[in-house]
Amino acid sequence: MNASESSLNQSSKTQSNCRFCNYPLQHTFVDLGMSPPCESYRTLEQSNEMEPFYPLHAYVCDRCFLVQLQEYISPENIFSEYAYFSSYSDTWLKHCQDYTNAIVERFQLDRESHVVEIASNDGYLLQYFLEKRIPSLGIEPAANIAKVAQQKGVPTLIEFFGREIAQKLVEQGKKADLLIGNNVLAQVPDLNDFVKGMKLLLQPQGVITIEFPHLMRLMEENQFDTIYHEHFSYFSLLTMEQIFAAHELKIFDVEELSTHGGSLRIYAAHSEDISKSISSQVTELKQREENANLNQLKRYFSFTEQVKETKRKALDFLIKAKREGKSIAGYGAPGKGNTFLNYCGIRTDFIDYTVDRNPYKQGKFLPGTHIPIFHPDKIAETRPDYVAILPWNFKDEIMEQMANIRTWGGQFVIFVPEVKVYS
């Protein structure tokens, strides 16, 4: 064991056991210091109040290689009232509409089918199934968001999903032919209870599709800002296969997606469902993950230095720009932006304000940094030299929406995976 590995072990003395396999956690993946919950936007009245910060310290299990955070904040405190509305991204809505069309055709879903989405948010996806008259049910813990879905006509159950809720739905005759979970599994502290629930709710020949950011892409492209308290776990296909197999589910297909900086969509079924054979895409991707050493602990030890270098480059750019008298505004108020800003110590000394299309966030302040959030029209009013795109995974959509900044010589900048300026 070299010195860096020894120091990693030293820093993890207080960590508990793996949330999947229960093996003692000993190894740091990356330590991003102390940070507030990324969706805890502050009101003006709260600006002088004490604000809670928690360790943003990710570990890797050396048995199953699940990357994970400790549960410092309960899901009830995070998600009962939530600020993320999926429908404010045109790119994401197009992604969901394309998915609906493809999945309906592939598995021949019709008016006799039943679709259930876990963490259905504001009805952003199920609306497209309902347009096709396919019976659907959303399960969403955030009451404020579920209400928006219900107003759209999307039947929505306000609950946290798990084995208990699944059992109640089964007793009501509501098993799923298609069970969907988009970007939710990372937000579940009790993985085993959640996957048990999916197993229980799935029809004998039903299909589960789950989308999640791909750990291999996160590491390769230095996407450390996707780590925040709302995301308890970070998955490779190798680890996800272990989790599903432990609950008698098999992953029979996988697609690589561009969403969220690089995601996977896995297709799963009951292990005993012989109608679905394992695709070559599953075999090929598992081999690529093994070639990338995701099944070896040493691979995870290099990530910390990548993150530190990204911070140095971002601060170099910002210091130089401010010394040249440049003005900088942000675009977006996403969770990833809050991780990045708090880790780097970037406040209004560097970024004057940020903007967001979501009215729920406008008039508030980013957690920790207290950067004010305005309507996007603010950018045209102040004409900043740079617009820092915080949700870099939507940079193309944002640059198209805000193309008018070029009329005064404004430029776009992203900081992850590295500093890049777009004229």
* pTM to 2 decimal places: 0.88
| Amino acid making up residue 129 | F
* pLDDT on residue 74: 65
For residues 108 and 376, give the distance between their C-alpha atoms in angstroms, rounded to a whole number: 42
Domain assignment of residue 272, given as a range: 86-299
- 125, 205: one domain: yes
DSSP letter at 304?
A: H
Choose one of 299, 314, 346: the last residue of a domain. 299
* pLDDT on residue 230: 86
Residue 196: its H or E element: helix 191-201
Does 402 reside within a domain?
yes
- 172, 287: one domain: yes
Which two tokens mark 235? 């998955």
Choose one of 265, 299, 333: the last residue of a domain. 299
The tally of domains found in the chain comes to 2
- 369, 234: one domain: no
Contacts of 49 (CB under 8 A, 6+ apart): none
Does 92 reside within a domain?
yes
Q: In 66-175, which ranges are E strands?
A: 67-69, 115-118, 136-139, 156-157
Distances in whole angstroms, Cα of residue 249 to Cα of each of 164, 197, 216, 254, 354: 19, 12, 23, 14, 43
Does 381 reside within a domain?
yes
Does 335 reside within a domain?
yes
Distances in whole angstroms, Cα of residue 170 to Cα of each of 174, 262, 374: 5, 34, 45
Q: Is 213 helix (H, G, I), strand (E, B) or coil?
A: strand
- 144, 173: one domain: yes
For residues 220 and 394, give the distance between their C-alpha atoms in angstroms, rounded to a whole number: 19
- 376, 279: one domain: no
- 178, 224: one domain: yes
Q: Which among 344, 294, 282, 337 has a CA at the least distance from the CA of 315?
A: 344
Does 152 reside within a domain?
yes
Q: Are 240 and 266 in contact (CB under 8 A)?
A: yes
Does 331 reside within a domain?
yes
- 287, 310: one domain: no
Choose one of 258, 283, 299: the last residue of a domain. 299
- 272, 332: one domain: no
- 243, 319: one domain: no
The vertex-98 CA angle with 132 and 239, nearest 5°, equals 115
Does 390 reside within a domain?
yes
* pLDDT on residue 75: 61
- 358, 321: one domain: yes
Tens of pLDDT, residue by residue, the chain (423 residues): 343 343 333 333 454 899 999 999 999 999 999 999 988 899 999 988 999 999 999 999 999 999 999 887 766 565 545 444 454 567 788 999 999 999 999 999 999 999 999 999 989 899 999 999 999 999 999 888 889 999 999 999 999 999 999 999 999 999 999 999 999 999 999 999 999 999 999 999 999 999 999 999 999 999 999 999 989 999 999 999 999 999 999 999 999 998 878 999 999 999 999 999 999 999 999 999 999 999 999 999 999 999 999 999 999 999 999 999 999 999 999 989 999 999 999 999 999 999 999 898 999 999 999 999 999 999 999 999 999 999 998 899 999 999 999 999 999 999 998 999 999
* pLDDT on residue 305: 94
Q: Which among 13, 60, 95, 47 has a CA at the least distance from the CA of 396?
A: 95
Q: Strand 136-139 relative to strand 176-182: parallel, antiparallel, unpaired?
A: unpaired
Which two tokens mark 371? 């950067």
> Tens digit of pLDDT for each residue in 114-161?
999 999 998 989 999 999 999 999 999 988 888 999 999 999 999 999
- 169, 290: one domain: yes
Q: Are 237 and 217 in contact (CB under 8 A)?
A: no
